[in-house]
Structure formats: structure tokens, C-alpha cells
Structure 1
Amino acid sequence: MGEATNRVLKYNPEIEISQARRIVDLRNWIIHGYDSVDNVIIWGILSRDIPELKKQIEVLLNDY
């Protein structure tokens, strides 16, 4: 998701994705800091933020 977010914003920086920087940063943390990734933190982020992100993506897909 972090890579996809990064690519979408490179394609069109005007697309609004809330928490975009946080999504990309999480991707980088997982990839580069895998030895310090805490599954509980990841699960909390996913369970809290994925439903909202899904809604935003659905709106974007309907608009484009």
C-alpha cells in the first residue's frame, strides 16, 4: 500500500489521500526496519486505518 500510495502521488500530486505520508513511512519502516517491527503496532494500524483508506480509494476510483 505504501508503494502504491507513493506511485499515485508521483503520478498526480494533487490526489488527496489522508495520511499519505504516514502510509509511505510505514512501508519504509517495515522494509528497512524489519527487525524492529512490532506485529501488535502493525495490526493496530491496519485494523484502525484500513476501513477509512478503503472508503477514500473507492471515492477516488469513482471520480477517475
Structure 2
Amino acid sequence: MRDYRLYIDDILEAIQRTEEYTAGMDFEDFAENRLVVDAVVRNLEIIGESCRALPREIREKYPDIEWRKIVGLRNILIHQYFGVDLELVWDIVRNKLPELEMKIKEIKRDLDASSV
């Protein structure tokens, strides 16, 4: 079984990649660039899958993170790819991921401090 701390790293890496891929873009640039859209959607899938794989105890300890919504988005992206709402994806990238990144970094700090 994979160490759940690696899922935390996966989430952070996927957020950072998404930020890198969309840097300097507005919604129109994003929506017109299929390569970036595909990369962002893939990284959102990774975030959702990694959140799903975290132990229940971790998810319960940090209830301010919308774990179910994150996993739910992953399910939508996987199963309804061609019906994905790009405006919703863009809103998540710009407005939700920065907050999630801060919270996941907090979890990482807490885990690192408890393992010393």
C-alpha cells in the first residue's frame, strides 16, 4: 500500500503544474488551447484521485476541505469528459486551487511535524 503522504505530494504537484500551465492566461486563452485544457483536466483528476486515496482520518481531521466535492469533480471529469464545463474548470483553477494549495500545505506541515 502506498504511503498516504505521497498523495499529499501528488496533490501539491498537480496544483503547481496547473498553475504553471495556465500562467498568464485568461479564460478565452484557456478554452482555445486544447493541450492546456487536457493537461489541466488530467491534473484535476489526479487531485481528486489522490484526495479519494487519503485515509478517512486525514479527511476528518481537516473538514474545512471539501473532500467530497473534489472527488466528485474527479468522477465528473473521468466519466463525462466531453461534457465538461470549461467555465467551471477555469473557476476552480483560479478560485479554488489556490485555497486548496494552502490547506494541503498545512496538512503537509502538520504531518512533517508529527513524524519528527
> Shorter-chain TM-score category?
0.7 to 0.9
Question: How many residue pairs get matched?
Answer: 61
Partner SS, residue 14 of structure 1: helix
Q: In structure 2, what is the equivalent of residue 30 of structure 1?
A: 77
TM-score, L = length of structure 2: 0.50
The residue aligned with 1:43 is 90
Aligned to 2:53: 7
Q: Distance in 1 between matches of 2:105 and 2:88?
A: 26
Q: 1:38 Cα shift? A: 1.4
Quote the sequence identity (%): 36
What is aligned with 2:30?
none
Which 5+ residue runs of structure 2 have no aligned equivalent? 1-46, 112-116
Radius of gyration: which is bigger? Answer: 2
Give the C-alpha shift of residue 26 in structure 1: 0.3
After TM superposition, what 4+ stretches of structure 1 lie above 6 angstroms from structure 2?
A: none
TM-score w.r.t. the length of structure 1 is: 0.86
